[in-house]
Structure 1
Amino acid sequence: MKMMWQLLQAYFFPCLYCGSLQGTKALLCERCARQLEYYEHEQGLFHYNEAPYPIFALYEWNPGQSDLLSSTVLALKQGQRREAWNHYAQKFSQKRMALNMTPSKKIRFVPAPSSSGHKDHAFAHAEALAKHFSGEVVPCLKKLKKKSQRGGNRQQRQRLRLGLDEKYSEVSKDSTDTLWVFVDDILTTGSTAHAAYEVLGSPTHFEVWVLGRRSLSCGASRYLL
């Protein structure tokens, strides 16, 4: 029975939420995919200006309020899910085009680094976005070994956990014709994105693109947390 279910999953792509065998490679069946659109911005993308750079998200995610969106986010974290990420990258691209916000500069997509150092969901997301925006994936960030840091605020401690990979020692040189885009699946406090911004040398043209922005229980400024 288990083998039969695995075969069905391999060839029929059952919906991750309702289990319907009419699912697609975007993880959901058409009915659940339409329900997921409820969490999209009516006129395009969610756009936030609380940091020194713009942040764009396809969804606003409030865990506990949407089991459907939560299930989708968690499923996208499992493996690389390239075809599913391609679907959401295409949707992101279409919404930016609808807003007449197609970047005119060369785009370099910088995925959030994984703890293991291997390619994960953030890389798959960046790869999919690069395909739709004719950009380049530059996995130049790495997580540093944690050190005991009793002093300093959370932002300062987070910055110390990111560094440039040795292969990209020149990558932080600013260029007026390049748009640097930090890519992750979910943005919560924004501390990792801000650490990336500083590690890259605070580029003149820098944006954050994520699948979803997770709500905070408090109204504090995100990138300072």
Structure 2
Amino acid sequence: MLTRPSNKWLTIILIKWMGYSSFAAALVSVLVYMYKKKHYTIAPKLSSLQINTASCYNLNTQIQLLTPPPSPEPTKSWSTRLLNGVISATRKRKRLTISLKNTVLWNPSRDVNTPIHAFHENTVTLLNKLVHLYDIYVITHLNSTEERDQINRLLSKSNIDIHKILFCSTEQGKLHIIQHLKPDIHIEGGCETTDGSFIINHLDVKQKIWIKKNNATYNTDHIQLSNTIHDTWIAQC
């Protein structure tokens, strides 16, 4: 004969079910609480980081606004500009070589060993003018040491740089000096024993001026022949 379960067992089963349900609910509550706690703890930190970044940006912007711009590079003084201008002008000047005898200087003495050199009229003024226009070197053919001293005394009246006063003892030596200097213009007059044709014929420069007595003045593409230096194109510039 079947019997109904007693109320005691029903009560036990109900209590167990309620216990399991409560435990599950409590576990869910704990998980939800931990999730919310983690979420609200990270969010403020992120917000704080964003605020700090924005504050740094604003601070940097203010610093840039308050910081004066860099000072411009100081301009060069007028003396420096003048010096640079002089150097540039010197570099651009053409080089001129002058064989002094029979062009700027003349010797009335018939004895080459006892010369009495003097300047042709107005040639000191011309030399000083050319010094400002060209990079000048002057060359003199010498026959004695005494002649060197005489030439140096005469040139002390001009503005020629003493380091650009050169001497030679032969026409071949003069040609070597001129070729070494590589001038743009050369003025030749020979010496007591030559008329300068050796230099004119062997020298390769852009322009040559040949001072030669008792000859008609004429011009070609690279050479001008004249009786005096005052009748040449270089004296007219």
TM-score tier, shorter chain, comes to: 0.3 to 0.5
Q: Structure 1 length normalisation: TM-score?
A: 0.32
More helix by share: 2
More strand by share: 1
Report the structure number with the largest CA radius of gyration.
2
